[in-house]
Structure 1
Amino acid sequence: MTETRLRQLEPVPGMKITFVFDYGDNWEFDIVVMHGSEESTCDTQVIERKGEAPEQYPEYEDFY
């Protein structure tokens, strides 16, 4: 696994990125860059969501 910071991708408005989370479950999120900034910041903002977020650690019956 490689750690990559978003700024290393040199994002530009309109750029589409697929973010893969939790490789065991392979959740994929499509991200579209809306605007950028030259200033360094840790702040991010979600401006639109589609669908319901899955529960990350659901309570399973005796699965094993």
Structure 2
Amino acid sequence: MLQKSAVSGNHTLLDLHKLIQDAFEFDDDHLYAFYMDGKRFSRNCYNSPMDDVGPFVTEAAISKLGLYEKQKFLYLFDFGAEWKFTVTLLKVTDEENAPAAIVERKGDSPSQYSW
């Protein structure tokens, strides 16, 4: 499945997490993290607010992350099942107050659970 989302610089990685969850129709019932260098379990990450160790996604405003166009990073959801998503920054705009939204979806969502 392919998803394109739009978030402003004022949004956080928590907002991006919620968009991914909505697009894939997942239950938001597991820990997750964004690995900014794309390497699973590296220290260059932002964790779920439910995790024991920060920094947390609520502290990570998109505009403060130093991201650049075409940059890729890893979103890992459910550390047991290890749902891995490659996030690619397609475009940076000046629309600071634009709402976070899914702007395009292609394909069917995978089933989160096998039962």
| Superposition TM-score tier, normalisation by shorter sequence | 0.5 to 0.7
Q: Tell me the equivalent position of 1:19.
A: 75
List runs of 5+ in structure 1 lacking aligned partners: 60-64
Tell me the amino acid that sits aligned with residue 37 of structure 1: T
The answer to which structure has the higher strand fraction is 2
Q: 1:28 aligns with which of 62, 65, 84?
A: 84
Between structure 1 and structure 2, the one with the greater Rg is 1
Residue 33 of structure 1: CA displacement? Answer: 1.1
Please give the TM-score of this superposition, normalised by the length of structure 2. Answer: 0.38
CA distance in 2, matches of 1:58, 1:47: 26
Higher relative contact order (CA 8 A, sep 6+): 2
Percent identity for Structure 1 against Structure 2: 22
List runs of 5+ in structure 2 lacking aligned partners: 1-46, 48-55
Alpha-carbon deviations, 1:10-46, whole Å to 9, x = none?
3211111111112221111112111112223333446
